[in-house]
A and B are shown apart, each in its own frame.
Chain A
Amino acid sequence: MHLIPCPYCGQRPQDEFHYRGDATVKRPAPDAGEQAFYDYVYTRENPRGWHDEWWHHYAGCRQWIKVRRNTLTHAVAASAGPADALPEATP
């Protein structure tokens, strides 16, 4: 079973969470243009290795949290609340 460390609830099984996508995308400025908004909404990297992701702890504290997960090994290096930053980098 895959365990995800919720910053509020502690280690919890993955089936208490929904995956909610890439946590690194930033909303462009209002005047950034159509292409920038197209990329913001649709274009995603498909990284092999560490990836910062949104997970929704729907069956627990109901918070959206940030999780740094390795897409190759499923290892989790860090997690943080929605307004908090993950550590700079994971080796």
Chain B
Amino acid sequence: MSAPDRRSRFPASQARKGGRSGDAPLAIVERPATLVQVTARKGRQAELAAAIGKALALELPEAGRVATAADKTALWLQPGSWLIEAPAGQRRVLPASLTQALNGIAAVVDQSHGRCIIEISGAEARAVLARLCRLDLHERAFAVGHSAATLVGHVSCLIHRADGETTCFRLLVGSTFAEWLLDEITAAAASYGWSFNSAGEAAA
């Protein structure tokens, strides 16, 4: 049974600001979350979709898309495999309840410790990402609800466009790459100005 883990993936980084200060600097925030990967066993994908629908009232999205219902989000990872994101407080219950609900249908792996979410938002979020990522992230090509597994700053990431008042992207990255990716993002944002808050500080 996994213990609740609220540690930040950025032990060396305090809340801080940097770069040129502007009216709307890039806001970089670590979003604490419960992350569970579900992978359909051979030939069981339809059953997995039905079971997730029943257990979480969530529809598994097609490739390159994200689906949200209430406090849960499902992100397509690869054929037959999705990542379920839930609030950090569900770390104790969600992996266990999914393991039970999907017994024999899918492999269930708690990734809450293995991955982390960096959210970047602000008017210049797209311009900053253009310096780190080769994909076309313009509204017409990558709208709210779109996602892509790709390289950002040479690191494998799952990037998706989130809903918000300002342009907002979330990057799912391996926890051990998180500090490196933060360095890349702050360097790319230096000409606009940026602020950073880790998970612990955001919760306080």
A54 and B116 alpha carbons, distance in the complex (Å): 31
Smallest CB-CB separation from B141: which chain A residue?
Answer: A10
Establish whether residues A8 and B79, one from each chain, have CB atoms under 8 Å apart when the complex forms: yes
A9 engages B79 (CB within 8 Å): no
Give the segment of A11-19, A24-32, A33-41, A72-80 that binds chain B. A11-19
Interface size class of B (residues with CB under 8 A): 10 to 19
Distance, CA A89 to CA B167, complexed state (A):
45
CB distance B77 to A12 under 8 Å?
no
Question: Does chain A have a CB within 8 A of B176?
Answer: no
Is A9 a contact partner of B134 (Cβ separation < 8 A)?
no
Instruction: Count chain A residues whose beta carbon lies closer than 8 angstroms to a beta carbon of B.
Output: 15
- Most chain-B Cβ atoms within 10 A of its Cβ — which of A10, A15, A59, A81? A59
**How far apart are A16's CB and chain B's nearest CB, in angstroms?**
6
B156 touches A (CB below 8 Å): yes
Chain A residues with a Cβ under 8 A of chain B: 1, 8-10, 12-13, 15-16, 58-63, 81
- Residues of chain B touching chain A, judged by Cβ–Cβ distance below 8 Å, are 63-64, 77-79, 134-135, 148-151, 156
Closest 8 CB pairs of A and B: A61-B78, A60-B149, A13-B134, A59-B151, A59-B156, A8-B63, A62-B78, A61-B149
